[in-house]
Amino acid sequence: MRLFHVMMLCLIFIVVALGGDQRLRAQEQVAEWPQFRGPGGRGASANTGLPLTWSADKNVVWKTALPGPGASSPIVAGGRIFLTCYSGFGVGRSGTGEMSDLKLHVVCLDRDSGRLLWDRPVAPQLPEQARIREDHGYASSTPVTEGERVYVFFGKSGALAFDLAGKQLWRTDLGSNLHGWGSGASPVVFGDLLIVNAGVESESLVALDKSTGRERWRAGGIREAWNTPLLAPLKDGTCELVVAMPRKVLGFDPATGKQLWSCGNDITWYIVPSLVARDGVIWSLGGRSGVAAVAIRAGGRGDVTATHRLWTSDKGSNVSSPVLHEGHLYWMHESRGTAFCAEAMTGRIVYEERIERAGQVYAAALLADGKLYYVARNGRVFVVAAAPKYELLAVNDLGDGGMFNASPAVTGNRLLLRSDKFLYCLGLP
């Protein structure tokens, strides 16, 4: 009976994350964006009518000042937008203030107007680190919702659950370790579990009961892994939970935390980009030199390096995450301003194009309305045709002078972009 229940849960994920864009749920095509990179963590939307061009005074539906900076991305559910911020300490490059004044925020905005509905302060677990590299700050993990509650992760300060009205329901400590890069992986929901990559805080992958916050299972040995866990649906109706680390990618049973397989990836650097999956194949990027991408056939057992690894490549990204579209993998290099397209099943590079003035790109790629949206940290957004022939369609700049670390979200025919100052809603008149 339990196996049947797990298989049914995985079938739900297959409906959401497997197959072409035309088979996505009607819910996604309307307004919902429930987690980091949207439904299934794919960074893709079937919605149409999204804006191609915008500026500070063009195609901005609304613009809302946030109570503080953060690298977390917005999510959308039930006509509301949720994200996290921090204030009081370590704000901006000067990093002035007293650590005792650090405040964490969970905020909710109205999707249609951008009006701030509520702002719930969260007391941090101190001491925090005095400074986090690259100005990533203390609110880097994107919330997740199943439509009933909102779950957030603040690294050392733990995981928390709120109802949609902003009432805190529980708070759970997931470890106290710190790292110079801070925390970054976002939680995901699987059935009645909230799964968190607490590799920084306790070198663990942890599943909590989403109703109570009590720990249900824990898998250790998760190191130098800043990627959000991926729930990868398989053709047989089961799911695997996948996390990438230096030198290996690991597959787990999401219901129990049992490790199912390990595959060598030959990547020697920490892994930041989140993975993507389709039709039983998983793609992972990471690393600054040497091997920087790998494709793996899921569903194996034990060490599957010799049997399930499809290809590796020295072309990848150390931060930004890729998207899949019609047999091709697309991504942007985090510092070279280079857009890539590769054959998904072979790794063959179809194009490698340098984009002028791109600077650093930390946000994950977004696929929507036949276009690829690449958000640079300097606020420029490069819109590229989602096709194996490179075509730059537009270059947009909001010009607010802020830092754009968050990944874009889609709701209806609108885009949500978050800087360290504002949340923007972009759409056609």
Q: State the pLDDT at residue 296.
A: 98
Of residues 280, 257, 249, 231, the one with CA closest to residue 36: 231
Q: State the pLDDT at residue 27.
A: 38
**In the chain, where the domains are located:** 80-220
> If DSSP codes are grouped into helix, strand and coil, which group holds residue 174?
coil
HSE of 377, CA atoms in CB hemisphere, 13 A: 18
Structure tokens given for 373? 């949206």
Name the pTM for this structure: 0.92
Residue ranges in the chain whose pLDDT is less than 70: 1-30, 93-95
Strand order in the sheet with 259-264: 230-233, 239-245, 248-252, 259-264, 302-303
Helix (H) or strand (E) holding 13: helix 2-17
Q: State the pLDDT at residue 93.
A: 63
Residue listed under structure tokens 């990868």: 232
Task: Identify whether 246 is preceded by a cis peptide bond (ω within 30 of 0).
Answer: no
Q: State the pLDDT at residue 178.
A: 86
Structure tokens given for 78? 């039930």
Q: State the pLDDT at residue 11.
A: 44
Q: State the pLDDT at residue 28.
A: 41
Structure tokens given for 153? 């992760």
State phi, psi for 87 to the nearest 5 degrees. Answer: -155, 170
Helix (H) or strand (E) holding 6: helix 2-17
Q: State the CATH class of domain 80-220.
A: mainly beta
Cβ(198)–Cβ(156) under 8 Å? no
